[in-house]
Structure 1
Amino acid sequence: MTEVAGERIAKVLVRHGVASRREAERMIAAGRVAVNGKSIESPALNVRETDRITVDGKALGNREPTRVWLYNKPRGLVTSTRDQKRRPTVFDSLPDTLPRVLSIGRLDIDSEGLLLLTNDGEIKRHLELPSTGWVRKYRVRLHGRPGKDSFALLAKGIEVGGERFRPMSVTLDRQQGGNAWVSVALREGRNREIRRAMEAIGFSVNRLIRVGYGPFQLGKLQPGDVTEVRPRVLRDQLGTVGAVKVSDLDSRKRRASRGSRRRARRTNESSDT
């Protein structure tokens, strides 16, 4: 069978940072994406570099270099581009100077702390995978008085509501009146995982702060503030993550850009004759 040339349109949108895979599929289904002037319906359509892609009537530009930002998410914000309940979102609160970005993972509305943002859909997808192996670290305040063996079940992995959670490391830091502060580390990011796991062993979470995501730390970043990861740091930290390498991505973008310029020169030369 002949191999179909090109790349799936949904993947192209993700790689350009237009949307996540699911969001891209919804945009296509809604008729917001066109190829060579014709609205498309299938996210599986293969496109080539020579195809003209538009989203909401605007041409898809050249891919920008991969960028990542650290954001200290305040409580009360939803990690979503749109919210059916019209609650304020993370993206509503970001500075106007930022380009369109995607969140790497999520923090629920009651959680706060480190949230990674990127303009690269491929990096987003890869860093969200548990197989990447990056540890997420949290400072968590519990209501109750945990003892020495209170978290033994969590260290082995626990099943909650028919869903199996991977083992998580929990360390008791201090007791503060009727509350206890603990440090939690885990390698996956399921929906409200820490809250559900703690409830399953008899504790309620009344504050949850993410302080680390892989090699990146919240540090002294203030709530609502954003800082960009320097390109050299980004290459050092992401250059060895699985099959996705920032240096490779950047080199592919440079090759694609050079190819576009060569095609443009050829077009201009043929027009002049």
Structure 2
Amino acid sequence: MRDKPDQGQEPKLAGPQTEGRPEGTRIAKFLARAGIESRRGVERMIEAGRITVDGTRLTTPAFFVTGNERIAVDGNVVEAAQDTRLWRYHKPTGLVTSHADEKGRDTVFDAMPDDMPRVISVGRLDLNSEGLLLLTNDGALARKLELPKTGWTRTYKVRAYGQTDQKRLDRLAKGVMLDGRRTGPIMATLLPGSGNNVWIKVQLTEGKNREVRRAMESIDLQVNRLIRTSFGPFELGGLAKGALAEISGRQLRAAIKAGPHRQRRAQAEDDKDKVKVKSNPDKAKPSWNKAKPNRGKAKSDRSKAKPSRGRNADH
């Protein structure tokens, strides 16, 4: 969104369209396809009064658009959707997976190179977690890949303080009770090693709030390092910390077509496609179009934008 924010009088309010069957696409789907947020994220933005169509502020997601309208988020005009793209990113520790952090901490998106389009993450990795994070410019794709029913396995290499054995880890295969509900199966394999810490390979198909860490706590293990090594058919491989590698459209289409039961390991075709992200997030000012106020403002201003909480949460 390159246009300057709309200014002037307060926009009118727009409710649901009620006359006949509206033409076009639901606003949430349209903005998700444009890479603004997931559909649910867009719905929350509408509730917060952040989206306007032709100068009228939306009050409901039951609104259809054709793409010929002037659609704006926080006053910034949304550009038409681009071809779907997907990247592997080696997230280091110390970055928040959010477009804006209420505590003013550095985010994954602050660290993107200047020529990176606006992207959102497929799921999340928390501040102290590292490893593979998938990024896409297509909110609908992000939502699809996050859903447990899609069946893509997340694999982690976990270091934890304490002692355990395989029999104890096998209990996690039945799931664990977290926040009053039982999780899906958690497959955990004890890796060779000795000392005060143990290394464990963990696999699951959902990404609830800090699920891996909390599952380990349920068997008296304290996670002190968590590395995501793969997400579905895509692996971290030798991707350097802070680096990006775009996944080709052919590989993405093949991976989705293959489905969870025939996942094929898909890597970026050539290591020369890897792009090193700027090492200082404060100096890496992204040039992609943003659906929010200028990042050049102080962090106290940025903190007003609340991060999305409804999507798959941290590990």
Contact 2:122 2:136 in 1 (8 A): yes
1:66-77 residue pairs with structure 2 within 5 A?
Answer: 66-77=84-95
Q: What SS is found at the alignment partner of 1:113?
A: strand
1:173-252 residue pairs with structure 2 within 5 A?
Answer: 173-241=191-259
Give me the whole-angstrom Cα distance separating, in 2, the residues matched to 1:220 and 1:197.
Answer: 28
Q: Does 1:167 align with 2:205?
A: no
- The AA in structure 2 aligned to 1:93 is A
Contact 1:160 1:200 in 2 (8 A): no
Q: Give the structure-1-normalised TM-score.
A: 0.82
Larger Rg: 1
Decide which of 65, 68, 88 is 1:47's aligned counterpart. Answer: 65
Deviation at 1:236, TM superposition (A): 1.3
- The AA in structure 1 aligned to 2:256 is L
Paired position in structure 2 for 1:135:
153
Give me the whole-angstrom Cα distance separating, in 1, the residues matched to 2:241 and 2:194.
Answer: 23
Give me the whole-angstrom Cα distance separating, in 2, the residues matched to 1:142 and 1:48.
Answer: 51
Give me the whole-angstrom Cα distance separating, in 2, the residues matched to 1:73 and 1:157.
Answer: 27
Paired position in structure 2 for 1:104:
122
User: What is the root-mean-square deviation in Å for CA atoms of aligned residues?
Assistant: 1.9
Deviations 1:71-107 (A, max 9, x none): 0111111111111111111111111211000000001
* 5+ residue gaps, structure 2: 1-18, 261-315
Q: What SS is found at the alignment partner of 1:141?
A: strand
Q: Give the structure-2-normalised TM-score.
A: 0.72
Q: Does 1:120 align with 2:138?
A: yes
Give me the whole-angstrom Cα distance separating, in 1, the residues matched to 2:90 and 2:208.
Answer: 20
Percent identity of equivalent pairs? 50
Paired position in structure 1 for 2:54:
36
Deviation at 1:40, TM superposition (A): 2.5
Deviation at 1:31, TM superposition (A): 4.0
* CA distance 1:36–1:89, change in 2 (3 Å): same
Deviation at 1:167, TM superposition (A): 1.1
Q: What SS is found at the alignment partner of 2:224?
A: strand
* 5+ residue gaps, structure 1: 243-273
Give me the whole-angstrom Cα distance separating, in 1, the residues matched to 2:146 and 2:31.
Answer: 18
* CA distance 1:176–1:96, change in 2 (3 Å): farther
The structure whose RCO (Cα within 8 Å, separation 6+) is larger is 2
* CA distance 1:122–1:181, change in 2 (3 Å): same
Of the structure 1 ranges 95-104 and 16-25, higher mean CA displacement relative to structure 2 is found in: 16-25
Deviation at 1:7, TM superposition (A): 1.9
Deviation at 1:156, TM superposition (A): 1.7
